[in-house]
């Protein structure tokens, strides 16, 4: 999910830092993991998940490196152009010591000031470090800015297009999940007919222009998510001893599908800079450690959730694991779980669509309060409904978005941008990592897209 950046971070509490990272990577994609394990096999699922996790972490850390490379260029540019009246040069004096000659202009008069470089070097270094930290807070560098720095308008367009497509894909996946679960309780209303009831209120929610007003709904949605995932875990482990079918371990046929689902779950390139920026500037250098540790925990959760769901239901595992939960009459745990998840995704939908409308309004030069902005939101919400009608399978849509967009954002562009921005200072191992990311991304995109289009189930 791509979120709007902005401003310097204030988060200092390690628990809050970890919680922000954790919540950002736990979404509806988790519910499709048991079915992905069914397609790929148990051992293959574990190995591929660890593989994708490792390279996703590497790629997202490269994006942070690229951000500071761009900021460094901005720093030097602003340092050179901050005061065109000042001219600084180094001159040699007796004894070989270096002094700085500064020509300054005050009230139209010129004077020369000499300073010892060896005395002021520490002060200058500290001042530069403080200035860079200030620049990091005052300059909002996002993913598309990095693409622009590396490849110009082409890079920005590619990243923006992939981000927009993936965000719309996430919204469509939410609609599929909600409509499928609702149709299990009201059998007289088909999945596509539920869209008639869902889209109008979702459209009115997208008219909320201040994302902060949705903060309460976002918090409730995250609480509902965690509660539902916990209970699904409980159902899986309660049911696991009843499974009699020996699980398969490897499946070459299921590899493309599972690979794309894994990338879908780890795709965080659009929000990694926002997460890093949310940390207070003086402890921001510790963000990498928090990030790596948290993603390792998320990887463990993905593996256990997917494996437990598959082991519990075997070949009967459905593309959304909640559909395997018993549908009894009256109010019971499965009904509550599905209700919580539907509530969560319903109010997450406008949050996911927010960066899409934000980017398009800037591209089209549309003011937020205009009638054109309202019409744009109507078109986007309608578009998600049309896509759901055309691609009604939750797993297929996840795989298609993962193959076409997430591979580009998660592997290909981080590797290419890092290669270009650091081309004069890369060591062979760093180059090898970049080329590996690009290669894995391209191969995964091709085989994943072909599999999603021609071998959907």
Asked whether residue 131 falls in the same domain as residue 152, the answer is no
Confidence of residue 207 (pLDDT cuts 50, 70, 90): confident
- Answer yes or no: is pLDDT of 62 > 90: yes
- The model's confidence at residue 127, banded by pLDDT at 50, 70 and 90, is low
Point out the least confidently predicted range of 253-257, 290-294, 428-432.
253-257
Q: Is residue 8 a part of any domain in this protein?
A: no
- 145 in the same domain as 130: no
Kindly state whether residues 354 and 240 are assigned to the same domain: yes
Q: Report yes or no on 2 lying in a domain.
A: no
pLDDT at 98 over 70: no
Please check the confidence at residue 50 and state whether its pLDDT lies above 70. yes
Residue 158 CA to residue 85 CA, distance in Å, equals 40
Model pLDDT, residue 102: 46
For residue 6, being part of any structural domain is answered with no
Q: Give the model confidence (pLDDT) of 297-310 as tens digits.
A: 999 989 988 888 88
Q: Is the pLDDT of residue 342 over 80?
A: yes
Least confident of 85-89, 287-291, 414-418: 85-89
Number of folded domains in the chain? Answer: 2
In the structure, what pLDDT confidence band is assigned to residue 329 with cuts at 50, 70 and 90?
low
* Residue span of the structural domain in which 93 resides: 82-136
Confidence of residue 106 (pLDDT cuts 50, 70, 90): very low
* The domain boundary residue, chosen from 136, 154, 182: 136
Whole-angstrom distance, CA of residue 382 vs CA of residue 165: 15
- Are 426 and 448 members of one domain? yes
Give the domain-ending residue among 117, 136, 155.
136
Q: Indicate if 95 and 244 belong to the same structural domain.
A: no
Q: Which CATH number fits the domain that encloses residue 59? A: 1.20.1740.10
Residue 333 near residue 407, CB atoms below 8 Å? no
Instruction: Give the residue-averaged pLDDT of 269-298.
Output: 87
Is residue 26 domain-shared with residue 70, that is, in the same domain?
yes
Is residue 7 in some structural domain?
A: no
* C-alpha 276: how far from chain center: 12
Contacts of 358 (CB under 8 A, 6+ apart): 4
The answer for residues whose C-beta is within 8 angstroms of residue 259's C-beta and 6 or more apart is 48, 52, 444, 447, 448
Answer yes or no: is 284 within a domain: yes
74-83, 215-224, 357-366: range with lowest mean pLDDT = 74-83
The confidence score (pLDDT) of residue 439 equals 93
CA separation for the pair 172, 150 (Å, rounded): 31
Same domain, 74 and 204: yes
At 224-259, the pLDDT tens digits run 777 777 777 777 666 665 555 556 677 788 888 888
Q: Select, from the ranges 77-86, 144-153, 187-196, 211-220, the one with the highest average predicted confidence (pLDDT).
A: 144-153
369 with 436, same domain: the answer is yes
pLDDT at 131 over 60: no
Position 46 scores a pLDDT of 92
Whether residues 404 and 428 share a domain: the answer is yes
Is residue 315 in a domain? yes
pLDDT band at 78; cut points 50, 70, 90: low
On whether both 393 and 246 belong to a single domain, the answer is: yes
Residue 364 sits in the same domain as residue 278: yes
In this structure, is residue 448 part of a structural domain? Answer: yes
User: Over 70: is that where the pLDDT of 374 sits?
Assistant: yes
- Answer whether residue 419 shows pLDDT above 90: yes
Q: In terms of domains, do 251 and 277 share one?
A: yes
pTM: 0.77
* Residue 155, CA distances (Å) to 159, 160, 394 in order: 6, 9, 30
Which of 102, 118, 136 is the last residue before a domain boundary? 136
In whole angstroms, what is the distance from residue 179 CA to residue 191 CA?
Answer: 5
Query: What is the pLDDT confidence band of residue 292, given thresholds at 50, 70 and 90?
Result: very high
Average pLDDT over residues 291-300: 93
63 pLDDT tier (thresholds 50, 70, 90):
very high
* pLDDT for 421: 92
pLDDT for res 284: 84
9 occurs within a structural domain? no
Listed ranges 48-52, 336-340, 390-394; the one with the highest mean pLDDT: 48-52
| 191, 296, 310, 400 from 180: Cα distances, Å | 6, 31, 20, 19
């Amino acid at each position: 999910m791509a979120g709007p950046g902005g401003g310097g971070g204030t988060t200092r509490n390690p628990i809050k830092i970890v919680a922000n990272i954790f919540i950002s990577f736990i979404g509806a994609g988790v519910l499709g993991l048991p079915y992905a394990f069914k397609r790929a096999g148990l051992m293959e699922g574990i190995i591929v998940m660890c593989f994708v996790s490792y390279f996703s972490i590497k790629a997202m850390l490269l994006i942070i490196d690229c951000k500071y490379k761009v900021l460094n260029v901005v720093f030097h540019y602003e340092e050179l152009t901050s005061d065109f009246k000042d001219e600084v040069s180094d001159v040699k004096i007796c004894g070989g010591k270096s002094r700085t000659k500064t020509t300054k202009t005050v009230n139209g008069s010129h004077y020369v000031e000499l300073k010892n470089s060896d005395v002021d070097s520490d002060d200058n270094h500290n001042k530069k470090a403080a200035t860079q930290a200030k620049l990091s807070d005052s300059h909002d560098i996002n993913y598309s800015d990095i693409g622009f720095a590396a490849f110009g308008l082409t890079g920005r367009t590619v990243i923006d297009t992939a981000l927009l497509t993936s965000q719309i894909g996430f919204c469509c996946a939410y609609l599929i999940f909600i409509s499928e679960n609702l149709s299990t309780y009201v059998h007289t209303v088909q999945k596509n007919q539920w869209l008639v009831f869902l889209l109008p209120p979702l459209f009115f929610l997208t008219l909320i222009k201040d994302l902060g007003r949705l903060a309460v709904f976002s918090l409730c949605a995250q609480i509902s998510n965690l509660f539902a995932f916990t209970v699904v875990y409980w159902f899986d482990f309660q049911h696991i001893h009843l499974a009699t079918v020996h699980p398969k371990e490897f499946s070459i046929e299921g590899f493309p599908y599972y690979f794309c689902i894994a990338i879908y779950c780890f795709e965080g390139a659009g929000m990694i800079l926002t997460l890093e920026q949310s940390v207070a500037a003086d402890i921001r250098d510790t963000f990498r450690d928090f990030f790596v540790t948290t993603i390792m925990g998320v990887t463990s959760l993905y593996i256990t959730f997917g494996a437990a769901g598959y082991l519990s239901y075997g070949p009967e595992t459905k593309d959304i694991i909640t559909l395997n939960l018993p549908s009894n009459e009256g109010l019971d745990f499965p009904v509550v779980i599905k209700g919580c998840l539907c509530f969560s995704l319903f109010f997450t939908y406008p949050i996911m669509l927010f960066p899409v409308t934000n980017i398009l309004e800037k591209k089209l030069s549309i003011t937020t309060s205009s009638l054109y902005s309202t019409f744009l939101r109507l078109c986007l919400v309608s578009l998600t409904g049309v896509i759901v009608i055309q691609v009604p399978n939750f797993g297929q849509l996840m795989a298609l978005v993962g193959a076409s967009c997430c591979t580009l954002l998660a592997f290909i562009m981080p590797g290419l941008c890092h290669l270009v921005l650091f081309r004069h200072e890369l060591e062979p191992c760093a180059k090898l990592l970049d080329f590996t990311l690009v290669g894995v991304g391209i191969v995964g995109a091709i085989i994943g897209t072909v599999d999603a289009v021609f071998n959907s189930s």
